[in-house]
Structure 1
């Protein structure tokens, strides 16, 4: 799809539209092998070069991030340091902005997906697609008997809600450690499910999202994924 040159550079985080005009005047931008001279020229992103280099991921981004604890999934700086600060500055300036696909709270670590493709956000957070997500939790008390059956039964109603949670699979790893597989993403759902049965979650880590795992990715690190990862 053809787009205005100045708008293209601004949307990909290179510079403002006003700065784009200066870059073009300075001969830093090429279109189809020639030096650009018109900020309003409409062109395909694949034909553009800046300082001799092709545009940075003009079709969009899909990232897998190992979120550490202590960071929030918010663009509001008043909420504290965010996961977006781990990304290259240019990606932080993209429009549409890079955003998380679902959220992990400040005290939760693990696999987090980020993208600037809104259709991926809607698709992967929509309850109807039932994308499984696996969380590993450590608790302050022994797991009560019958918890697996309760979570799997699809009858648990959390405080303040009227609709029961969708069936969830509990895998016991130890007296106070378990993995929980969810296909929905309610507010603080894992913590609230365990709390409803008298167990406080001490640590929470997401180990899987759909077919994706962290592997050896270090906390705070990320890797790019193909945009067609989810088909």
Structure 2
């Protein structure tokens, strides 16, 4: 692929702007030699202002989403794209959230420009477990774990029971849930069905991927081996 097209696809600007970057000598190879717009390049060898080029198509990143940000580009308030380099919004193909976390939920959010991978991750057939930690308005009753594991819990306005989910009690008003499906506001609605209310919610793990020590509001690209662990957790 020619350099000008590569730069444009990765959001460094329009083709005209990418050509201008090259003419200004701001695009070089790893050895510092200036590259030209029509050069055919290995993305791994390209530098812009001395910095490695963003990963090409196939980028998958994990983001530690803070409370107060939404996953929609149409929201007038704070959105998760505000936490990424501005050029990420201009990538072609676009980078999109893999599933959603609502405004009041924090934690692990995956984003990718690989449409096939996105659909594979969110597909119910993949059965990738997701782990949430919930803070509650009232003390747990004591029977929630058995109810959630029963496979018989029917949420309001739905006619299909939830799949069995695991719950670990972390305190009188704290619980960790492992879900194997992704219905709308599922954790909040599960506790609502028991007469309780979720006051804080954090997603800590998707499959074999955990946030680890990634600070809130920060992101990092995933290595291929990490994607293998994501799907491997679903088969264990």
TM-score category of the 2 structures, normalised to the smaller one? 0.7 to 0.9
Correspondence for 2:10: 12
Alpha carbons of structure 1 residues 181 and 10: separation in structure 2 relative to 1, 3 Å: same
Alignment deviations for residues 73-94 of structure 1 (CA, whole Å, 9 cap, x no partner): 111142x101111111222321
Alignment deviations for residues 112-149 of structure 1 (CA, whole Å, 9 cap, x no partner): 12222222211211111111111111111222232211
**2:155 pairs with 1:128:** no
Give, in angstroms, the shift of residue 171 of structure 1.
0.8
**2:81 pairs with 1:76:** no
Correspondence for 1:141: 138
Q: Which moved more, 1:165-174 or 1:89-98?
A: 89-98
What is the aligned length? Answer: 226
Q: Which moved more, 1:19-28 or 1:94-103?
A: 19-28
TM-align CA RMSD: 2.5
Question: Take 2:104 and 2:98, find their aligned partners in 1: how far apart are those partners?
Answer: 17
Question: Take 1:42 and 1:180, find their aligned partners in 2: how far apart are those partners?
Answer: 49
Relative to the length of structure 2, the TM-score reads 0.84
Correspondence for 2:150: 153
Give, in angstroms, the shift of residue 175 of structure 1.
2.0
**2:166 pairs with 1:169:** yes
Question: Take 1:173 and 1:20, find their aligned partners in 2: how far apart are those partners?
Answer: 52
Correspondence for 1:107: 104
**Runs of 5+ unmatched residues, structure 1:** none
Give, in angstroms, the shift of residue 53 of structure 1.
5.9
* 8 Å contact from structure 2 (residues 2, 37) kept in 1: no
Correspondence for 1:36: 36
Question: Take 1:34 and 1:216, find their aligned partners in 2: how far apart are those partners?
Answer: 38
Question: Take 1:221 and 1:52, find their aligned partners in 2: how far apart are those partners?
Answer: 22
Correspondence for 2:182: 185
Give, in angstroms, the shift of residue 111 of structure 1.
1.5
Give, in angstroms, the shift of residue 69 of structure 1.
0.5
Relative to the length of structure 1, the TM-score reads 0.85
Correspondence for 1:208: 205
Question: Take 2:198 and 2:50, find their aligned partners in 1: how far apart are those partners?
Answer: 52
**2:224 pairs with 1:224:** no
Question: Take 1:72 and 1:91, find their aligned partners in 2: how far apart are those partners?
Answer: 16
Give, in angstroms, the shift of residue 36 of structure 1.
3.0
* 8 Å contact from structure 1 (residues 60, 227) kept in 2: no
Give, in angstroms, the shift of residue 37 of structure 1.
5.5
* 8 Å contact from structure 2 (residues 155, 193) kept in 1: yes
Alignment deviations for residues 43-91 of structure 1 (CA, whole Å, 9 cap, x no partner): 654565556665321243222222110111111142x101111111222
Alpha carbons of structure 1 residues 135 and 35: separation in structure 2 relative to 1, 3 Å: closer
**Runs of 5+ unmatched residues, structure 2:** 229-236
Question: Take 1:49 and 1:110, find their aligned partners in 2: how far apart are those partners?
Answer: 32
Q: 1:61 aligns with which of 35, 55, 59?
A: 59
Alignment deviations for residues 153-209 of structure 1 (CA, whole Å, 9 cap, x no partner): 111111111111111001111222111100111110000111011111011111211
